[in-house]
């Protein structure tokens, strides 16, 4: 079981009203809404951090070996696959 601690948030009246209205529309208390909003913001920050980390790794790989997929060819391959056609995608030198 997680230990729960109390945290105080100083909100402008505008933000407090927005949170209260949103919570009411969702059938939640303002407290539950704010807890969920903080949780979701934390999850989104982690997803963004991972995305940036993966992008940097991919960039380093391109810089190191110079191999890329040309975007127009990627889109054509995707369109072919969506249409049920077989497509091959070849790597290019950058």
- CA angle at 20 for the pair 18 and 26, rounded to the nearest 5°: 100
Per-residue model confidence (pLDDT) at position 26: 98
Mean pLDDT by runs of 10 across the 94 residues of the chain is 88 97 98 97 98 97 94 94 91 89
Per-residue model confidence (pLDDT) at position 94: 83
Per-residue model confidence (pLDDT) at position 88: 86
* Among 2, 5, 30, residue whose Cα is nearest residue 16: 30
Q: What is the DSSP string of 26-59?
A: HT--HHHHHHHHHHHHHHHHHHHHHHHHHHHHHH
Instruction: Please tell me the pTM assigned to this model.
Output: 0.71
Domain locations in the chain as residue ranges: 15-93
């Amino acid at each position: 079981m997680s230990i729960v601690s109390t945290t105080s948030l100083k909100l402008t009246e505008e933000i407090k009203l927005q949170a209260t209205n949103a919570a009411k529309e969702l059938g939640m208390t303002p407290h539950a809404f704010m807890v969920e909003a903080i949780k979701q913001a934390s999850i989104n920050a982690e997803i963004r951090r991972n995305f940036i980390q993966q992008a940097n790794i991919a960039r380093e790989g391109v810089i190191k070996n110079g191999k890329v997929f040309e975007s127009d060819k990627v889109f054509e391959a995707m369109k072919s696959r969506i249409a049920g056609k077989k497509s091959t995608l070849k790597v290019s030198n950058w």
